[in-house]
Amino acid sequence: MRADRLVAALLLMQARGRVTAAELAEELEVSVATARRDLEALSTAGIPVYPQAGRGGGWQLLGGARTDLSGLTAHEAQALFLLAGPAAPAAPEVKSALRKLLRALPQTFRAEAEAAADAVVVDPSRWGEPDKERPELVRVLQAATVRRRRVRLVYESRRDRTERLVDPWGLVDKDDVWYLLAGTERGQRTFRVDRIAEAVVTELEFERPGDFELSQAWEGVVEEMERRRSTVSATVLIAARLLPVLRDHFGRHCRVLEEMADGRARVRVAAPMAVTIAEQLAGWGARVEVAEPEEVRAELARIGAELVARYS
């Protein structure tokens, strides 16, 4: 877990004074790119961690190795605990790491650091649902990713069931749905973990591409998915006061084109198909008017005729 790694990286620099991204990667059993991102995250959060270029360089905790981490100011200690704190309730290992770090802080910082750790709580379960645990399959894939071991998957897509040998490059949790980004014979592919019927970790090693960065790769996946989900667009007229509700329906595929003098707004909405737009707008009745295209207007007319025939 990243919060745990951030604390471990800081403690390692405390002990050694200076580390390279390669040394940190070996110590934490992650890629060099991941180690470098963790170090940059510490620096961005305000922790006095700085890179030193040149021969014998690396990343250094300002002030050198300290047994009390006195290189941290009160605000810097708070920043670190705000980064790691939200993960602690769901991860005992993070809570343990935070306790160790807390003991290493100067006495004057401890109260505020503890308060920062308790300032934010992340509760992944919805109302009325039991606490959610990370699926066991995610743990298996995560271990394979860290150990750089290929995985043989049995994957059930909407069309077929296939067996594939993949290189697990990274995992993403998006709104309680886990995705595996992996290398295959055909390049990078994305797999929904809940559609993986079976996963067997092999002893075959792989090397992740040196230019692969998980967050950037995921941004590319999201952009492509959103592009597919917005192949058809429609221009609609709606009362400006109802815009928040329309945005809730269409999310990022809702864009205001013009605020009109009569209190209405001209809005562009998008979806994969014309019928999808019509289905989402049908419940609005006369409160929304579709200006174009004709195919969406035709779908609305069809839905209206079906409703009249059924309920008149």
pLDDT value at position 84? 61
The side-by-side arrangement of strands in the sheet containing 254-259 is: 254-259, 264-271, 232-239, 288-292
- Checking 113-119 for CB contacts under 8 A at 24+ apart, the result is 113/77, 113/78, 113/80, 113/81, 114/81, 115/78, 116/77, 116/78, 116/79, 116/81, 116/82, 116/85, 117/81, 117/82, 117/84, 117/85, 117/88, 118/85, 119/82, 119/85
Mean pLDDT of the chain: 80
Q: Identify the CATH assignment for 232-311 out of 3.30.70, 3.30.1340, 3.40.50, 3.30.390.
A: 3.30.70
**Confidence label for 67 from pLDDT (cuts 50, 70 and 90):** very low
In this predicted structure, the answer to whether residue 15 has a pLDDT above a threshold of 50 is yes
Residues paired with 188 in a beta bridge: 183
In this predicted model, what pLDDT tens digit does every residue of 37-60 receive, in sequence order? Answer: 888 877 766 677 777 766 667 887
CATH class name, domain 136-227: mainly beta
Q: What's the average model confidence in pLDDT over 66-75?
A: 53
In this predicted structure, the answer to whether residue 111 has a pLDDT above a threshold of 60 is yes
Q: What's the average model confidence in pLDDT over 290-297?
A: 95
Hey, do 2-117 and 232-311 end up sharing a CATH topology, with the first three levels equal?
no
* Pick from 8-22, 41-55, 136-150, 175-189: least confident: 41-55
The CA distance from 57 to 70, in Å, is: 22
Residue with tokens 């994305």: 190
Please name which of 238, 244, 282 lies closest in space to residue 264, comparing C-alpha atoms. Answer: 238
199 CB-side CA count, 13 A = 25
Per-domain residue ranges of the chain: 2-117, 136-227, 232-311
**Residue 291 vs residue 13, higher pLDDT:** 291
Q: What's the average model confidence in pLDDT over 136-149?
A: 88
Check if CATH label 1.20.1070 holds for domain 2-117.
Answer: no
